[in-house]
Amino acid sequence: MLIVGIGGTTRPASSSETALRIALAPAELEGAEVRYFTAQDLDLPMYDPSTEVRTPKARSLVDAIRVCDGIVLSSPGYHGTVSGLVKNALDYVEDLRNESPSYFDGRAVGCIAVGYGWQGAVNTMRDLRGIVHALRGWPTPYGAAVNSALGGLSGGVCGDADLRLGLELVGRQVIDFSQGMRKTSL
């Protein structure tokens, strides 16, 4: 089983990357292969639908999504929405439009939004879920909106037990759905 994690900022160990890694820890413990696309992996050229030329990093991202069983997205809330870095990475999913399955079709997608305040985190969560729906994915029932102003994530660690449980729940729901889908397709 392959689970893809996409998110963070260009700053390694950012709050949104830390949240992503915590969410995917249960998948790794259950033996799933986890591929992370964070920090510099997301430093991609602006998506251009008029060309098929892709950088190695962009090809790696699209190739992983093409074959994965589930996805977890974690975006910082920049000005009340998904960061340009994460949105641009998601724009590359358009390269899967003519494939079967197309986009995120048939896959669970966990959503995490990290903002300095509830407004940014909640708005970003709403936008992530909208993007997942547009890409034909199945957003997990639980999405984690994280208010980084409360200090639960700092220095690459989570100091809040309830926050950790919520983030891990996102990852577990992706795994559970993915395992269920694999059973029904056998």
Q: 110-154: per-residue pLDDT in tens?
A: 999 999 999 999 999 999 999 999 999 999 999 999 999 998 887
Q: Which CATH number applies to 2-185?
A: 3.40.50.360
Q: Could you say which DSSP state residue 102 is in?
A: -
> Both tokens of residue 116?
């300095």
pLDDT of 157: 81
What pLDDT shows up at residue 155? 77
Q: Which two tokens stand for residue 34?
A: 């986890």
SS3 state of residue 117: coil
Domain borders along the chain are: 2-185
Q: What is the pLDDT of residue 17?
A: 95
Q: Give bridge partners of residue 146 from the DSSP assignment.
A: 114
Closest C-alpha to 21, from 31, 10, 13, 9: 13
**pLDDT 10s digits, 20-79:** 999 999 999 999 999 999 989 999 999 999 999 999 999 999 999 999 999 999 999 999
* C-beta neighbour count of 32 within 10 angstroms: 20
Query: Cβ atoms within 10 A of the Cβ of 165, count?
Result: 13
Minimum mean pLDDT range among 81-95, 98-112, 115-129, 144-158:
144-158
Looking at residue 186, what is its pLDDT?
Answer: 53
- Which residue's entry shows tokens 């190739």? 63
